[in-house]
Copies of this chain bind each other. A is one copy, B any other.
Amino acid sequence: MKATVHVTLKPGVLDPQGQTIQRASEAIGFARIADVRQGKFFEVELSDDGDLEAARAELERFARDVLANPVIEDYRVEFLSDLPAASEQE
């Protein structure tokens, strides 16, 4: 099963890397680029043992505990499949 995780800085947290990209871009002629914030993006492949709810819970825990720093970062988890079996259980 394929899933994606987006990790972004929380609103209000400074992003010096994004600011540097924005300033450098302006200097080389990208006049419209007003703001840049950099985040991380992960493509995750999960082994499928038939238990979709458990896989979803594990991916959620993986994103929170391993990929993101919840003090300064938000994360968003998405399965690329529709997971119809999981929605039945909700």
State in angstroms the CA–CA spacing of A3 and B43 once bound together. 20
Question: For A72, what are the chain B residues with a Cβ–Cβ distance below 8 Å?
Answer: none
Number of A residues with CB within 8 Å of any CB on chain B: 35
Mark interface residues in A28-62 (1 if CB within 8 Å of B CB, else 0): 10111111111111111111010000110011011
Q: Are A44 and B49 in contact (CB under 8 A)?
A: no
B43 touches A41 (CB 8 A): no
- Can you identify 15 A-B contacts, CB atoms within 8 angstroms? A6-B41, A7-B41, A8-B41, A32-B49, A32-B54, A32-B58, A33-B46, A33-B58, A35-B45, A36-B44, A37-B42, A38-B40, A38-B41, A39-B40, A39-B42
